[in-house]
Amino acid sequence: MEFAHEVIICIVNTGFSDAVMDAAKSAGARGGTVMSARGTADKEAEKFFNISIQPEKELVMIIVKTEIRDAVLHALYKAVGIGTPAQGIAFAMPVDAVVGLKE
C-alpha cells in the first residue's frame, strides 16, 4: 500500500518550535501543530549521546505529502537536529487518511 501523506513528528527543546516550522516550510510544508511535552531520558542517555537533556520539550506534528517527506526531514536535521541547541529528533509515519487539508 502506498500512502499519499505522512506525519512528521519533531521533538525539540522548548523554544525551538518556530525554528522547526521555518525549516519545514522552507522544504514545502504548509503548517503544523505544536504541543508541550516532557522528556524522560536518564543520565545514562545524556552520557551516551554526550548532550545535556532538557526535560521540557515541544512536539511538532506536520502532515506532508509523501513526496516532500525526505526534503522536510533533511531540513529539520540541518536546522534543529541533535547537534544544534534545539537537540531535535524527527521521524515520519504513514497516514492512511486525511481530511481538512486544502490541496
pLDDT digits (tens, 9 = 90+) for 44-102: 766 776 766 678 999 999 999 999 999 999 999 999 999 999 999 999 999 998 888 77
> For residue 15, how far is the Cα from the chain centroid?
13
Q: State how beta strands 5-13 and 56-65 pair.
A: antiparallel
Nearest to 78 by CA among 28, 33, 19, 32: 19
Nearest to 39 by CA among 13, 21, 77, 19: 13
Alpha helices (H) in 3-68, listed in sequence order = 17-26, 43-49
Task: Tell me the pTM.
Answer: 0.85
Q: How far apart are CA 36 and CA 14, in angstroms?
A: 8
How many CB atoms are closer than 10 A to CB 60?
27
Higher per-residue pLDDT: 35 or 47:
35
Q: How far apart are CA 57 and CA 15, in angstroms?
A: 8
Q: What is the mean pLDDT of residues 21-40?
A: 94
